[in-house]
Structure formats: structure tokens, C-alpha cells
Amino acid sequence: MTDDSDIGDGGLAGGLVGAARRERDELIAWLLEQGFSVDQIRASATPALLPAVRSIGDDGQYVSAREVAESTGVSLELLQGLQNAIGLPLIDDPDAAVLLRADALAATRAKVFLDMGVGLEETVALMRAIMASLGHVAALMREAALKVVLRPRATELELAEESQELANQAAPHLGPMLDDLLRVEMRRAFEIGAVTAAERAAGELPGAREVTVGFADVVGFTRLGEALPPEQLHRVASLLAKLAREAAVAPVRFIKSIGDAVMFVSPEPAALLNAVLDLAGAAAAHELPPLRIGVASGPAIGRAGDWFGRPVNVASRVTATAPPGAVLVAESTHQAAADAPGLRWWPQGARQLKGVSGDVRLFRVARPSP
């Protein structure tokens, strides 16, 4: 139980008055009946979402790092490294029960990779990459869920009840869904390139290989940010990413979206050129601002879902110099795809690109007009 001083001004009601105060009092009474403590309610930025958060694993139980280490067989030092990898704060006192049990145990899941022989550095990098991707996924899930439960004039209690029901429905399916989707991506990752005989003999990861890299970004996106509301700006970037994924037909791979830009990689230059030309056409059909697109080829290495090497740098710089609505190609790609059917080329001269040694001969590429 709690008293009026806990709920009143300066307490759980946060200085609310009138109808907002009555709604908050109603919510607090219901949360207390559901077993939430005064401290939990006071610490929450949005008390109405506490039940939903509990449904997806927050049981309100806190443990110390030492307890977790002893119960899982993970050393304190390793546990701290894994907790840091998934974004949990560093705890100075290993005996302080300040770690949410579910979060602490989630960090120890990475031990399975260490038991398989994966190195500590690679395991920590893997966990960081997983959390970076899942952070984006979780943010999108939150937005989608709130769109379902938020409606005009809904009370805090109604939001609490409906978000809890939605979380209860979703929670059993999150693990299987993410498991299946991760397996899809792992199958694709293993199929990207064959391990050569030399790599097998050396016992090392696949090294650099010949690929073609393409970037596309929205012309004037910064100026759009001054003219459009944030919601519309987000829709522009989201539509670009959607169209880019649709244009990336195997062997072309959509690598990432970076705000107003997208990145592709392909072992076949002509396939990537057709993909970016398809993207340019789709963007125009959807009345997006013009795209500028740059492409380059050469040896690059893929690591942790990203690519590194000269063609990545050159393609990025070529994109920056491309005219609006044009696909500009470095000589490396022109040499590899000059005879590809269905493409026309126009020399654009040689240019010095920022951060790239030597002049780079550039070509504009397009499909023949009907």
C-alpha cells in the first residue's frame, strides 16, 4: 500500500492537475493492484507502458554481477565485457544488486559462442553488431505498436491495458520470428561467396575479392530537412530504402541505408548497374527528389555485414560528384561492363576525387531511350 504523499504532487502524479491528474490517479491505483511498486512507477518515464514492458521480460527482479557470474559459470571480467557489448552500464560494485535479471542473463547468452571456440574479440564484436541491428528493429516495433494502441482521447489506463494485451499477444512470437529471420540471413551470408582453395589451405577468412559497389543518395536532402517536417523527411528516407531493397535482385546485395543514402554490392558489375538504374527509375516514379548515384569496382573485403576497400571509397566519392539524376561510373566498372547489353556510355573526363589517389576517369551510364 501507499499513502497520499506518495501519489500526490511531487510524488507519482508528477504535479498533474484536473483531468490529467484524475487519469494518473486511476492508472496508479490499477498499477498498484497489478503488483508494481511505488519505486517502479516513479522511475518510469511512461508508467502506462510498465505492464507491456513486464510482458516482454522485465520482471522487476535485480541481481548482482557476482550472482550472475556464479550461476552461469561466466567470469566477472568476461561478464562485464559481454554486458558492455550489449549496451548495459558498467557496474563498479560486483555485489550490488542493480542489474535487471533478464538483461544480465541475456548478456551471458554469448557464452555459447565462446564454448564453440569463437574468440572473445569476435564474440564481443558479434554481440555489438546484433544489438546495433536489434536496436533499430526494437524502435520500429515500438512505433508500430504505439500506432495500434494510441487513439484520440484514450486515457492512460486504457493505454496501459491495451498495450499490455498487445505485448502479451506478441511476446510468444518474437523469439521464433527473429530466429527464423536470422537463419534466412545466415543462409544468404554463407552463399555470398565460395571459400577458395587458397583460403582453405591458409585456414583464414575469405580475403578481398572483386566486387562492384554502388551508392545512391537523395539530392538536396539537407535542404529538405529545413523545408519538410521530420515525419515527411523520414518517409522520404524510408521509401528510398524500400525501393533499394526491391531493386537489389541477386546477385546484387542491399548492404545498408545511411539516412539519405543506400549502398549495394555485387560480384557482377552489369547486375549492379541495372539495379541502380532500376532504383533511379523507381524513385522518379514515386516522385522522390532526384538521386545521384556512383559506382566503382575493385578488390574489397566484407566484414560484419559491411564492406571495406578502394571501390567503396571511390564509389562514395563518385556519388558526391554525380549530377542530379545521373549514374556516374568509375573507369574500373566501365572496363568490366562496357560490353554489357542494354547500356549506353558517355565519357565524362578524368577528375581528382577527394581522398582518392590519382585521377579517376568517369563515365555516365544509362539505358538507351525507347
Please tell me the distance from the alpha carbon of residue 3 to that of residue 355, in angstroms, as a whole number.
66
pLDDT in tens, 225-264: 677 777 778 888 889 999 999 999 988 999 988 878 999 9
User: Cα 68 from chain centroid?
Assistant: 29
Query: Alpha-carbon distance 29 to 94, whole Å?
Result: 36
Q: Are the beta carbons of 216 and 280 closer than 8 angstroms? A: yes
For cell 564454448, name the residue: 115
Asked whether the bond before 251 is cis by omega within 30 degrees of 0, the reply is yes
3-state secondary structure of 304: coil
Domains, the chain, ranges and CATH? Answer: 4-43 (no CATH), 62-189 (no CATH), 210-366 (3.30.70.1230)
CA-nearest of 278, 276, 282, 287 to 318 is 276
- Give mean pLDDT in consecutive 10-residue pieces for the chain, a chain of 370 residues: 45 78 91 90 88 88 88 86 83 87 87 87 84 84 89 90 93 91 81 59 68 93 73 84 92 88 94 96 92 95 84 95 94 95 94 88 90
- How many angstroms separate the CA atoms of 292 and 281, rounded? 12
pLDDT score recorded for residue 196 = 58
pLDDT at 2: 45
Q: What is the pLDDT of residue 270?
A: 96
Residue type, 44: S
At 311, give phi and psi (nearest 5°).
-60, -30
Nearest to 295 by CA among 355, 239, 252: 252
* Contact yes or no for 221/228 (Cβ under 8 A): no
d(CA 207, CA 302): 8
Question: Radius of gyration over alpha carbons of the chain, in Å?
Answer: 26
Q: What is the pLDDT of residue 329?
A: 96
In 203-268, alpha helices (H): 221-227, 230-247
Say which DSSP state 93 is in.
Answer: -
Q: Is 14 left (phi over 0), alpha (psi -120 to 50) or beta?
A: left
> CB of 305 within 8 A of CB of 253?
no
Which grid coordinates are listed for 249?
A: 535482385
Sign of CA dihedral 183, 189, 194, 195: negative
**CB of 312 closer than 8 Å to CB of 342:** no
CA gap 120, 82 in Å, rounded: 9
pLDDT of residue 206: 62
Cell 527509375, residue located? 281
- The model scores a pTM over 0.75: no
At residue 194, the pLDDT reads: 56
What is d(CA 191, CA 93) in angstroms, rounded to the nearest whole number? 46
Residue 172 preceded by cis peptide, ω within 30: no
State the cell numbers at 238: 524510408
